[in-house]
Chain A
Amino acid sequence: MIDSLDARAKSEISLTVNGERKTVLALPMERLLDVLRQQLELTGAKEGCAEGECGSCSVLMEGTLVNSCLVPILQAQGANVVTIEGLAAGAQLHALQEAFLERGGAQCGICTPGMILAAFHLLSKKPGPTLEEIQEGLSGNLCRCTGYVQIFEAVVTAAHCRTSLSRGPNEI
């Protein structure tokens, strides 16, 4: 059993983040979101609602889209986590990031990391999604600026040039 001896005891949690093995010392009920942002200094995932409604804290865990505000870090023990920082290969942006830039899919930017990861998750399951499938795939990610049209267009654009999608992120 992975156990914390008392409530104040920190556990050693090992996980792979954006392809790199990391070990953190954390309280088991700390949220994955806080560990990513505060300990690992990956501030791409944002805190919006803190209740799984807005999707701005979305990350991939074991290749699956999750709200990192709802994941206690103990449940991420041994997991493979990908954040928005893991999508670009060095200076080379991911096709989805390029498409969001090209189509004006970002305004204030708070929802964008989550939107892009939700889109990545969708395209990994459905490489050529319909508009309806894109709308559903991104339905857990709320945007208060753009009105979604440019975001959906960006996903369509990225899906069209998906040869570059087979690359990454970090070969998950």
Chain B
Amino acid sequence: MRSDPGDYELVAPLSLQAAVGLLARSPGEWLPIAGGTDVMVQYAAGKLPSRKLVSIWNLPELRNVEVLANEIRIGAGCTYTDIRKHELIGREFPMLARAASWTGGIANQNRGTIGGNIVNASPAADSLPTLLVYDAELILVSVRGERRLSYAGFHTDYKKTTLAPDELIRAICLPRRFSGYVCHARKVGSRNAQAISKVCIAALARVADRTVEEVRIALGSVAPIPIRLSQTEQVVTGKIIDESLLLSAKKTAIAEIRPIDDIRSTAKYRVAVAGNLVVEFLNLLNADAKKA
């Protein structure tokens, strides 16, 4: 059942300060809307729980990328297009740029924001596994001030986060220390554009003398939240990649995911694909190590 616009209130504060001020006056009552690629879909379907919306689209404080010596801070209001176009993100965080290119089509990339993607908290979101392996931190803002926390603990359960009702994500911070790593990101879906992933992977590693010195692997659509495969990482770390390691890594990966059957795929298929994606990454690492 379509929503009646007359049942909804929408305001557009002109600054971030005004937006968080509004959230603080009645926490939980106002739903932030940026590019609308999630909120307007729920609205059109008559499934939007909140009747009061506050537009944070194009707030200048949320739309910039700050490049510091040791990290970059991507404003939460940056669109996927902003991310794809950013030269330094493309060079130092290529998996994020690639994931942005798989999200929706061009029109949705022009409106969908990285902060919105995080807060919407879909386990299938393509950019979220990349944030996990890049060790992202979030800067949250409210009238109470700012706090900074690791992105890794932000999602607590399906569609649940540690964001307080009066807070917004201001920026996503990525440490600039992954340039020399081998990385691999892949989406498995019905179609590259528009179709949401059945499984997606983001992984990076450092290999020396054919030995995996450090490895980070994250998957989307295999659990209620995007997850790091920490047990698989442990199995692989310090080892030379051979057939037996591939087998044990695959076995461990399959054991630590909790996929479900849904409209896009089945748990059985996701288990098979997740295992194969981990093996594909390790084979790629091995090929890269032999080349070096």
**B106 near A29 (CB under 8 angstroms)?**
no
Which B residues are in CB contact (< 8 Å) with A31? 5, 40, 44
Other-chain residue from A1, A53, A72, A77 in contact with B194 (beta carbon distance below 8 A): A53
List B contacts of A58 (CB < 8 A): 107
In the assembled complex, the Cα of A53 lies from the Cα of B193 at a distance in Å of 10
Interface 9-mer from A16-24, A62-70, A85-93, A102-110: A62-70
* A28 adjacent to B9 (CB under 8 Å): yes
How far is B194's CA from A152's CA once the two chains are assembled, in angstroms? 18
- Tell me if A's interface is mostly helix, strand, loop or mixed: loop
User: Are A137 and B13 touching (Cβ within 8 A)?
Assistant: no
Interface contact B110-A66, CB-CB below 8 Å: yes
Q: Quick check: is B165 within 8 A (CB to CB) of the other chain?
A: no
Chain A nearest Cβ from B216, distance in angstroms:
28
Q: Is the beta-carbon distance between B106 and A70 smaller than 8 angstroms?
A: no
Classify chain B: how many residues form its interface, as a range.
35 or more
Q: Which of B37, B40, B53, B101 has the most CB of A within 10 A?
A: B40
Contact call B40/A140, Cβ cutoff below 8 A? no
Report Cα–Cα, A77/B53, bound state, in Å. Answer: 16
Q: Which A-chain residue is minimally distant from B108 (CB atoms)?
A: A52
Within 8 A of B (CB), among A1-37: 1-4, 6-8, 27-31
Given A29-B43, A30-B5, A52-B104, residue A4 in contact with residue B110 (CB < 8 A): no
CB-based contact A1/B13 at 8 Å = yes
Give chain A nearest CB distance to B71 CB in angstroms.
28
Q: How far is the CA of A29 from the CA of B101 in the complex (A)?
A: 29
Contact B104 A2 (CB under 8 A): no
Partner pick for A6 among B5, B9, B44, CB 8 A cutoff: B9
> Is the Cβ of A51 less than 8 Å from the Cβ of B106?
no
Q: How far is the CA of A121 from the CA of B110 in the complex (A)?
A: 11
For the complex, is B67 an interface residue (Cβ under 8 Å from A)?
no
Tell whether, in the assembled complex, residue B40 and residue A74 are in contact, meaning their CB atoms are under 8 Å apart.
Answer: no
Contact at A71–B106, with CB atoms within 8 Å? no
- Answer whether A139 and B106 are a contact pair too, CB < 8 Å, given A2-B12, A69-B44, A72-B55: yes
Pairs A-B, 3 closest by C-beta atoms: A140-B105, A139-B193, A28-B10
Chain B contact residues, CB within 8 Å of chain A: 2-3, 5-14, 18, 33, 35-37, 40-41, 43-45, 51, 53, 55, 57-58, 81, 101, 104-108, 110-111, 192-194
User: Chain A interface (Cβ within 8 Å of chain B)?
Assistant: 1-4, 6-8, 27-31, 50-53, 55, 58, 64-67, 69-72, 74-75, 77, 118, 121-122, 136-137, 139-142
